[in-house]
Chains A and B, each alone.
Chain A
Amino acid sequence: KAGVTQTPRYLIKTRGQQVTLSCSPISGHRSVSWYQQTPGQGLQFLFEYFSETQRNKGNFPGRFSGRQFSNSRSEMNVSTLELGDSALYLCASSPSTGGADTQYFGPGTRLTVL
């Protein structure tokens, strides 16, 4: 099976712009989670989608949003970018069968905000 894919891999934006990142989960996986990784804060949970519904949300401002499509692909959007949004954004997918499913991570999108 193909792994989790994320596009684009690298992105450079300027303050005030908005950005959309894409994640394609492993075939058959219905849950997609997003994480932000920065040197200062480490890995922080953004949100999780399951069957096109947001199931859980982390402590991020409303500028961060996401959605999931019927084929389980997911996008996250950040509006009005700030310098502090520079980070590696990781997407993870899991079958979500109700147990301790393993989350499989993609390679990430490296966002740089200038």
Chain B
Amino acid sequence: AQSVTQLGSHVSVSEGALVLLRCNYSSSVPPYLFWYVQYPNQGLQLLLKYTSAATLVKGINGFEAEFKKSETSFHLTKPSAHMSDAAEYFCAVSEGGGSEKLVFGKGTKLTVNP
């Protein structure tokens, strides 16, 4: 069964600093991986997804993630944090096999300090 572990439930960075949110996955099949962002009182918005093409995936708002099979990781990065990046971020793996079911990590709340 697929699972996702997000290291660090809270991450705090200064505006302009590097953002690094960690995600490790477990999957019995080649995974499809996703990062979603959730702003307060809103649904989830897709940042980016990995579907076995390029291992470095670029998403919206300057975010990118690198798929590393040997480390079973899919960490999310952004070179320079902006105040508007403050939100909760979720890593997810698709169960596949014809199902659209996503298995989510517990989420990482990002705080950006001025």
Contacts and interface: CB of A to CB of B under 8 A. Distances in A.
Interface stretch (B13-21, B45-53, B63-71, B76-84): B45-53
Give 3 nearest A-B pairs by CB, closest first: A100-B32, A105-B43, A43-B104
A100 B57 CA distance: 14
14 contacts: A43-B102, A45-B102, A48-B99, A55-B98, A55-B99, A56-B99, A56-B100, A94-B100, A98-B98, A100-B49, A101-B100, A102-B46, A105-B45, A107-B42
Interface of B: 32, 34, 36, 41-46, 49, 51, 90, 92, 94-96, 98-107
A42 B104 contact: yes
Nearest to A104: B46
B51 A43 contact: no
A103 B100 contact: yes
Interface of A: 4, 31, 33, 35, 42-45, 48, 50, 55-56, 58, 90, 92, 94, 96, 98-108, 110
Nearest to A47: B101
Given A100-B32, A102-B49, A45 B101 contact: yes
Contacts of A96: 100
Contact of A42 (B41, B94, B99, B107): B107
B106 A42 contact: yes
Contacts of B95: 56
A23 to B, nearest CB: 11
Contact of A105 (B44, B94, B99): B44
A106 B43 contact: yes
Nearest to B105: A42
Given A31-B100, A44-B104, 18 more contacts: A42-B106, A43-B104, A43-B107, A45-B103, A48-B101, A50-B100, A56-B95, A58-B101, A90-B43, A90-B44, A92-B100, A94-B100, A96-B100, A98-B98, A100-B94, A101-B100, A104-B46, A105-B36
A92 B43 CA distance: 9
